[in-house]
Amino acid sequence: MTRRPEKGRGLFYTRDSMGSSDLAPPRYVEWARREAARLGVTLAGTPEAIEGMIARKASADGDLYLDYGLAGNTLARPGFEAFRRRALADLAVSHLFVPLRERIARLDNPVEAVQAEIELRYAGLTLVFQDEVAAPFRTGEQVDVLQVLPALLAYGASGKFRRDLARKLIEAKVRLAGQGFTIGGDPPYGFERWLCSTAGEPKRRLEFHERVKLPGHHVVWLPTAEAELVVLRRILALYPTTPAARIAAALNADGIPSPNAGRTYTTAGGHTVPVSGLWTQNGVRNAATHPALEAVMEYGRRAFGDQLRFTPTGPRALEAGDYGENKKLLTVTNPPERRMATPVPVDRPPVLTAAERAALLAVAAARGQGQRGKPRARGDAPNPLGGRVFDLNCGWLMYRYQRRGRWCYTCGLYQNSEARCCDHNVIGGAAATRFVLACLRQRVLSAGAADKLRARLRQLAAGEVGGNPADDRRAGAEAELARVKRQLETAGRNMALAADDDEREAMRATYNGLKADRARLERELAQSSSSRAGAADPEREVAAALAGLDRLTELADAADADVTAVGALFARVDVKLYLRFRREERGRQAKNVPAGGVLTFGSTPPPVPLYEGPVDRPVIKRMIAAGEPVSSVPGNVSPGEFVTGQSVGGSANVKRGTTRCC
Ligand SMILES: [Zn+2]
């Protein structure tokens, strides 16, 4: 197959069977133009143009194709045929925009429509629908049933057909799950995907996202990622006594890449964002408590699907609990009796015994009380400084909240103590974002900027021009070299303490192996720095980063998409904003305004100890009642009785200036 450009020309197709609504096609064209712009694809055609096509009964105009007043029970339609011919023949075309699959066809035999779609995807074309993006298939790539299943479901004419398929899919999953194989997804930290026979014999390690079809074989997760296991053991040793956030900070300080570093993920809003590469509290907790650690596969933790849902005994129909407000379908967390847990079929010692993992889960449960069940800011709600703004008056994280279209960060203690403690300390979200961006720019522009920040900026610059895998490899090699050096030290010490010659000989093998690793890594790093010298100009890269920062400063309060980019930037440089608030009398009203603070980058420790206790409202209430401190700022005692039902959020019914407990 001849190569097509990655971002070439786009074509648009839609069908309107009734021929009665001339409103829908122009709206679809608007959607396609927006998508094309977002993807960087050229698309000639306007809503007015398609209105003209409807009036003229034309089936093609520029990049627009239309079948108006034609039913979808056959593919033989002039508009679709012309669309398909052009898409296959015109090698400048890279993307096809169709609002929904049912616009292509609604056939008694959906396989015909799937076939047509597969043909387009094998031709190197990306199909963009409103609810899914179908990527091209590589020549020779075997098409997996799971890849075309959404298409089959969408083209299927009847609801019964969809339900039957959903049932078969769930039954297939339950069968796999019943044997301890994975039913998809990425393995947890320290684990890799292995192709394994139903008899429990691992055959070979699979590459990231590699798909293999081999009769009598399925995929299991095994703890074989050696470098990650070293880190994992360190996490497991620290977890019972050290808060996850502090473990994350220690790992970041040592430059250990987080799970999935170097990859990208898609946000709920559909934006592709690089994984920051930094450890988080959640990342540490997941690594330390995953069921796979005791060689158990757990399934059905979350229930989703619009037809039938997974249970250990097979599919179940939708229930009242699956719907939220306005009859919207929800993804729900299943209670333990609806989950399925099966031992991995491979005979291998687990990382943890069941009792050891139960102990870690208990620790996690005790710590996690605060956040359970709390809604998170979802989708495109702007929150670039989420988890990065702190109130120095009490040491608490400031939470995002939105009122009357304005989003702010406000003291978490004030919120969760229902206005009993601290104060209504608020900073506007857009203003804070602009401030941090301005500081970031200033910091970069100043001559004495830290080397660490420069290094991060170089990464950022590489990201701006499409990523630099060489840098990622280099960072990986550097981290590995540091690890190998530490292990060498330990091995050397152990050798000196060996009891006899046999033991010393056994240790020498390990020692020599590590030395060989060190030599190899040092060679690799030397080569990569010599090959770098001519290839890239760091100053130009930093200049590119500065240009990006200039742009970002302007964009601080622009559209959501840009806020996502700003958030990714903040995560990369790991910015933290610590604010002190002061009461200011303004006429009859008193208002708490930011009066100073500290901005840090990277792994810089906080300027004051932060509050690390429970944050859950009922717990805070009990702690205040018991006179226990709920703040990291010492010297203050909590007041007595708690007033229930008090509303929070800066309204006049909050009595101010009378209580201090932080
Ligand atoms: Zn506070």
DSSP 343-363: E-SS----SS-HHHHHHHHHH
CA of 643 from ligand 1 middle (Å) equals: 19
CA of 576 to the centre of ligand 1 (A): 16
C-alpha–C-alpha distance, residues 303 and 333, integer Å: 6
* pLDDT at position 40: 92
Q: If you measure from the C-alpha of residue 430 to the centroid of ligand 1, how many angstroms do you get, rounded to a whole number?
A: 20
Within a 10 A sphere around the Cβ of 440, how many other Cβ atoms? Answer: 22
Rank 222-231, 256-265, 337-346, 636-645 by mean pLDDT and report only the highest: 222-231
Distance CA 304, CA 308 (A): 8
Per the listing, tokens 């037809």 go with 307
Pair 571, 276: CB distance under 8 Å: yes
Compute the distance from residue 580 Cα to the ligand 1 centre, in Å: 9
Q: What is the mean pLDDT of residues 288-307?
A: 80
CA 301 centroid distance within chain: 18
Q: How confident is the model at residue 651 (pLDDT cuts 50, 70, 90)?
A: very low
* Residue 87 to residue 10: CA distance in whole angstroms: 9
pLDDT band at 198 (very low <50, low <70, confident <90, very high): confident
* Section 529-534 average pLDDT: 47
pLDDT of 382 strictly over 70: yes
Interatomic CA distance for residues 264 and 573, integer angstroms: 17
Distance (Å) from CA 412 to ligand 1 centroid? 6
Query: How many Å lie between the centroid of ligand 1 and the Cα of residue 396?
Result: 6
393 Cα–ligand 1 center, Å? 5
- Provide mean pLDDT across the span 514-527: 81
pLDDT tops 70 at residue 470: no
| 96 Cβ contact partners less than 8 Å away, ≥ 6 residues apart | 10, 11, 12, 13, 83, 87, 120, 125, 126, 127, 128
Q: What's the CA gap between 556 and 299, in Å, rounded?
A: 41
CA 392 to ligand 1 centroid distance, Å: 7
Q: Please report which helix (H) or strand (E) contains residue 314, including its range.
A: strand 314-317
In terms of Cα–Cα distance, which of 334, 299, 307, 331 is closest to 167? 307
Q: How far apart are CA 577 and CA 600, in angstroms?
A: 7
If one counts every other C-beta atom within 10 angstroms of the C-beta of residue 410, the result is: 24
User: What is the chain's percent helix, strand, coil content, to nearest 5?
Assistant: 45, 15, 40
Residue 432 has pLDDT above 80, yes or no: yes
User: What's the pLDDT at 270?
Assistant: 52
At 656 the pLDDT is: 37
What was the pLDDT predicted at 352?
92
Q: Are residues 519 and 511 in contact, defined by beta-carbon separation less than 8 angstroms?
A: no
Mean pLDDT for the stretch of residues 153-180 = 70
CA of 466 to the centre of ligand 1 (A): 41
Cα of 620 vs centre of ligand 1, distance in Å, is 13
The whole-number average pLDDT for the span 124-139 is: 87
Q: Which whole number is the average pLDDT over 197-221?
A: 86
Report residue 145: phi and psi, to 5°.
Answer: -60, -35
d(C-alpha 619, C-alpha 418), whole Å: 12
Query: What is the predicted pLDDT for the residue at 588?
Result: 76
pLDDT score for 306: 65
pLDDT at 304 over 60: yes
CA of 330 relative to ligand 1 center, distance in Å: 34
What is the pLDDT at residue 297? Answer: 85
pTM of the model: 0.41
> What is the whole-number distance in angstroms between the Cα of residue 624 and the centre of ligand 1?
15
Residue 655's pLDDT band (boundaries 50, 70, 90)? very low
Length of the chain: 662
At residue 112, the pLDDT reads 81
- The rounded Å distance from CA 637 to ligand 1 centre is 14
Does position 556 have pLDDT exceeding 50, yes or no?
Answer: no
Dist. CA 460–CA 474, nearest whole Å: 15
Torsion of CA 353, 355, 361, 367, to 10 degrees: -130
339: pLDDT confidence band, cut at 50, 70 and 90?
A: confident
pLDDT classification of 560: cutoffs 50, 70, 90: very low
Compute the distance from residue 166 Cα to the ligand 1 centre, in Å: 49
Q: Any idea which of 36-50, 164-178, 407-421 has the lowest mean pLDDT?
A: 164-178
CA 150 to chain CA centroid, nearest Å: 22
Handedness of CA 256, 259, 265, 268 (dihedral sign): negative
| Rounded-to-integer distance, Cα 527 and Cα 532, Å | 8
Query: Computed from CA positions of residues 524, 526, 530, 533, in that sequence, does the dihedral angle turn out positive or negative?
Result: positive
How many Å lie between the centroid of ligand 1 and the Cα of residue 554? 30
Q: What is the pLDDT of residues 611-626, one digit of tens each?
A: 888 888 888 888 888 8
For residue 30 the two structure tokens come to 């608007």
Flag whether pLDDT at 642 surpasses 70: no
CA of 633 to the centre of ligand 1 (A): 10
Distance from the alpha carbon of residue 425 to the mean position of ligand 1, in angstroms: 7
Are 550 and 557 a contacting pair, CB within 8 Å?
no
What's the CA gap between 602 and 571, in Å, rounded?
A: 9
User: In this prediction, what percent of the chain has a pLDDT beyond 70?
Assistant: 72
Spelled out in words, what is the top-level CATH class assigned to the domain 180-300+339-370?
alpha beta
Q: What contacts 24+ positions apart, CB below 8 Å, involve 257-260?
A: 257/475, 257/476, 257/479, 258/283, 259/188, 259/189, 259/228, 259/283, 259/287, 260/186
Q: What is the mean pLDDT of the chain?
A: 77
- Please give the pLDDT value at position 514: 82
Distance separating the N- and C-terminal Cα atoms of the chain: 68
Is residue 293's pLDDT more than 90?
Answer: yes
Least reliable range by pLDDT among 183-187, 273-277, 430-434:
273-277
Average pLDDT over residues 424-440: 84
Tokens matching residue 461:
């610059």
Give the span between the Cα atoms of 399 and 411, in whole angstroms. Answer: 6
Ligand 1 centroid to 571 CA: how many Å?
23
Looking at the predicted structure, is the pLDDT value of residue 165 above 70?
no
pLDDT at position 646 is 37
- Please report where in the chains the tokens 């019972």 appear, as a residue: 240
Distance from Cα 605 to the centre of ligand 1, integer Å: 19
> What per-residue confidence (pLDDT) applies to 454?
56
Going from the Cα of 416 to the center of ligand 1, the distance in angstroms, rounded, reads 10
Q: Does residue 447 have a pLDDT over 50? A: no
Query: In CATH, what is the architecture of 9-162?
Result: 3-Layer(aba) Sandwich (3.40)
- Token pair of 449, please? 């900027």
| 383 CA distance to ligand 1 middle (Å) | 19
473 C-alpha to ligand 1 centroid (Å): 43
Is residue 637 predicted with pLDDT exceeding 60? no
Q: What is the pLDDT of residues 93-117, one digit of tens each?
A: 999 999 888 788 776 667 788 888 8
Higher-confidence residue of 288 and 174: namely: 288
